[in-house]
Amino acid sequence: MISETWQLGAFQAIIELNHYGTGSGPAPKVQYKTGNSKENCEADTWHDYNGISFTSQGWIKVRIANE
């Protein structure tokens, strides 16, 4: 899943992950892009989310995938 590009402002961002079900297998890989404009955000490379927070530069985009 890849989100739309959102303008949320510059702040320390947290991605809340909800876990449903009791299945087995690897946890999903969560990545993000950020930039000071929509264009710069979309041009950014994907960064692995550390599970704690990241610095939003104003615009963000999130990707979640099974590995």
Answer whether residue 1 is part of any domain. Answer: no
pLDDT for residue 61:
97
pLDDT for residue 19:
62
Q: Kindly state the helix (H) or strand (E) to which residue 41 belongs, with its residue range.
A: helix 38-43
pLDDT tens per residue, the chain (67 residues)?
999 999 999 999 999 877 665 566 677 899 999 999 999 999 999 999 998 999 999 999 999 988 6
Number of domains in the chain: 1
Answer whether residue 48 is part of any domain. Answer: yes
Answer whether residue 50 is part of any domain. Answer: yes
Give the whole-angstrom CA distance, residue 23 versus residue 20. Answer: 9
Answer whether residue 46 is part of any domain. Answer: yes
Answer whether residue 22 is part of any domain. Answer: no
Domain boundaries, position 43: 6-14+27-65
Pick from 13, 1, 2, 20: nearest CA to 52: 13
Give the whole-angstrom CA distance, residue 53 versus residue 67. Answer: 21
Answer whether residue 45 is part of any domain. Answer: yes
Answer whether residue 21 is part of any domain. Answer: no
CB-neighbour burial class of residue 54 (10 A; exposed 0-12, middle 13-18, buried 19+): middle
